Chains A and B, each alone.
Chain A
């Protein structure tokens, strides 16, 4: 059974850098796309980007200049950094697994990140 466990700071000030990490337990780490998805309050799901060991990274165009997704295959972990956050980045952030076709089959528990002065 695949499990994703995520952690990171939940309260940031504007202009700071959001940093989240997700550990993957079970299943193959190298064969999938590891994904970050967020949900702003009262809004729908928003894909941030994903990383694959062989292919590299894909990002949401509107976040590409601020987002960096990296992975550590020795620890089965992947991370998200989002620079220069504003209140618009306040959201529940989920790490997840994509099989490469856009099918997101396993999700982390989610972390609420709030950006406030």
Chain B
């Protein structure tokens, strides 16, 4: 069981918008920056969002991140079939002194 909680799966049609939530606690999300990762099976995970809402170069502006209290959100607009992947939230946990990840959310673009 992961310290950060994500929905196991979400789905939406091409062109639509989807939101993925990540719930934590004061010792992790509440106290530290959140990152989001895109993981296509068979490849290495890719950093998608860092510092709650910043995009590395190469991440399209269709992807956005936000944080409020002990929860974080990843938003994806204009869904494309190429966005199908597993998405993970991650952060540092100050109590555990460990990097922690959510359980992952599988995105299906119908």
Residues of A within 8 A of B (CB): 35, 37, 44-47, 50, 58-61, 94, 98, 101-105, 107-110
Interface size on B, residues (CB 8 A): 27
Q: How far is the CB of B58 from chain A (nearest CB, A)?
A: 11
**Interface class of chain B by DSSP:** strand
- A60: chain B residues at CB < 8 Å are 98
Of A35, A44, A101, A108, which contacts B88 at CB under 8 A?
Answer: A44
Take A35-B99, A47-B98, A98-B99 as given contacts and tell me if A104 and B104 are in contact as well, using a CB distance cutoff of 8 Å: no
| Residues B99 and A102 in contact, CB atoms below 8 Å apart | yes
Cα-based distance from A98 to B98 in the complex (angstroms): 11
Cα-based distance from A58 to B92 in the complex (angstroms): 12
**Interface class of chain A by DSSP:** strand
Take A44-B104, A45-B101, A45-B104 as given contacts and tell me if A105 and B47 are in contact as well, using a CB distance cutoff of 8 Å: yes
Cα-based distance from A50 to B100 in the complex (angstroms): 12
The segment out of B12-20, B30-38, B67-75, B77-85 that lies at the interface is B30-38
| Residues A44 and B44 in contact, CB atoms below 8 Å apart | no
**B49, closest chain A residue (CB):** A103
Q: How far is the CB of A106 from chain B (nearest CB, A)?
A: 8
